[in-house]
Amino acid sequence: MVFFKESIVDAHGAIQGLVGSISDITSLREKERDLRIATTRYRNILDNAVEGIGEFSVRGDVLDANPALAHMLGFADPTELMADAGSGTSGFGFDPRQWEAMAQRIDGEGQVRRFEIRVRRRDGAAAWLSLSLSGMRSGDGTLERMHGLALDVTAQKAEREELARLASTDVLTGLANRASLLAQLDT
């Protein structure tokens, strides 16, 4: 309960009466508690997820990130990532054309799943992320931000490239094999 009161006084300052109100704020307190619990739950999931989780502007600014995403990109923590990443796609080393293509798909379809994009880690090393992002729109319907998951698929991408190389070259000589020669003749 919250009680508000005010004294009514005459011209000489003598109290003539009291006016007050009592409000039951039980439901407000319950909603505040539920909000605290939900916020704590969200923060625990975000901080402890193995997958990178982030929120980005349409131009590629990092608006929020969890520790896993920061580590994928070579940063100690999300605060360092957001402070050091610079503005737009250049901060991450995202290929601006890939980022723009992804943002256009999100704008048109509302989301992307397993969109592979090349990035540059903090140490300059190349890496590949598989992004699954959804768009968030402003009041006028304009795509404003994107949020979702990032998985580091650098090792898988290297394995696929190595398998493709092995399938098209002779192991002993390193030259194109028969399958590669026939494929080139077909084109």
Residue type, 144: E
Burial of 84 (0-12, 13-18, 19+ CB in 10 A): middle
> Is the model's pTM score more than 0.75?
no
Q: What is the mean pLDDT of residues 166-173?
A: 83
CB 134 within 8 A of CB 106: yes
Q: Alpha carbon of 121 to those of 20, 58, 63, 90, 129: distances in Å?
A: 63, 20, 18, 11, 11
pLDDT in tens, 77-132: 999 888 876 555 555 667 788 999 999 999 999 999 999 999 889 888 999 999 99
SS3 for 11-77 is CCCCEEEEEEEEECCHHHHHHHHHHHHHHHHHHHHHHHCCCEEEEEECCCCEEEECHHHHHHCCCCC
State the Cα–Cα distance between residues 85 and 105, nearest whole angstrom.
Answer: 24
CA quadruple 97, 102, 106, 111: dihedral, nearest 10: -170
φ, ψ dihedrals at 21, nearest 5°: -145, 150
Give 64-81 pLDDT, tens digit per residue.
999 999 999 999 999 988
